[in-house]
Homo-oligomer: A and B are copies of this chain.
């Protein structure tokens, strides 16, 4: 029995991501209040794996996850994409014109902004979690609604008032699977995630990217985050295609070390499949 920690209440998209990645058998799900507590549970061994969102195709990167990858010494052992479908859920099948308040995570509210502007006289209440919003609505006897997953509707016995209410059909969240130990990456279709701290000189990022470009290594993502205790200086996170079994990746990383203060390998893992929520 493996324990999987995720952030949110039961019914959260992270729970669906966990079930899609690991399957429902022989696992125990461990809902957690914060992203930090997911990392903590995996670090202390209270959980075997953690499943955390790293970016959404509309909203962009999840900063907190990037920072926690650095603050803890866990390894990324996998990833998956989840296509996000938002639903308007209520305790009864209320008419849309009756609904007094809509609860959800600010990101979900933003992703459904076009739908929400059509609701006149409806107050919008931000909550920390879509499934948490569904739980609140399940506890109220008024005509209020939550924006959450279909899964949350089942968990909290809510009716689907409106389906697929997000602005854009193509709405994907990429999740990382983290563990205290790395895994042997698959031979094909592999990604490696790294973080590096460059010496701040003109052209330093260009030279850092050259170590990959000169070896035809494809980068799938680059992200910058503030350096702790340095004002307006940045750390860079890069995802590249290939694994630590590829000689050219190893060479590129050795080359990168020559021109960086530090390079950290966050993990080599199989490129993620896409699931539908």
Contact = CB atoms under 8 A, between A and B. Distances in A.
Interface of A: 55-60, 63, 126, 128, 168, 170, 172, 174, 202-203, 205-207, 209-210, 212-213, 216-226, 228-232, 234
A259 to B, nearest CB: 13
27 contacts: A57-B226, A57-B231, A57-B232, A58-B228, A59-B226, A60-B63, A60-B224, A60-B225, A126-B126, A170-B231, A174-B232, A202-B213, A202-B217, A202-B218, A202-B219, A203-B212, A203-B213, A203-B218, A205-B209, A205-B219, A205-B222, A206-B209, A206-B210, A206-B212, A209-B209, A221-B234, A222-B234
Contact of A172 (B58, B206, B217, B231): B231
Copies in the complex: 2
B232 A172 contact: yes
Interface of A is mostly: mixed
A213 B206 contact: yes
Closest 8 pairs between A and B when the two form their complex, measured CB to CB: A206-B213, A202-B218, A203-B213, A206-B209, A57-B231, A60-B226, A60-B63, A172-B231
B206 A55 contact: no
Contacts of A128: 126
Contact of A224 (B202, B205, B223, B229): B223
Contacts of A59: 63, 226
A209 B219 CA distance: 14
Given A59-B63, A63-B59, A223-B224, A168 B209 contact: no
Given A60-B226, A206-B206, 13 more contacts: A57-B231, A168-B229, A170-B229, A172-B232, A202-B213, A202-B218, A202-B219, A205-B209, A205-B222, A207-B213, A220-B232, A222-B222, A223-B224
A210 B55 CA distance: 27
A224 B213 CA distance: 19
Contacts of A170: 229, 231
A226 to B, nearest CB: 5
A205 to B, nearest CB: 6
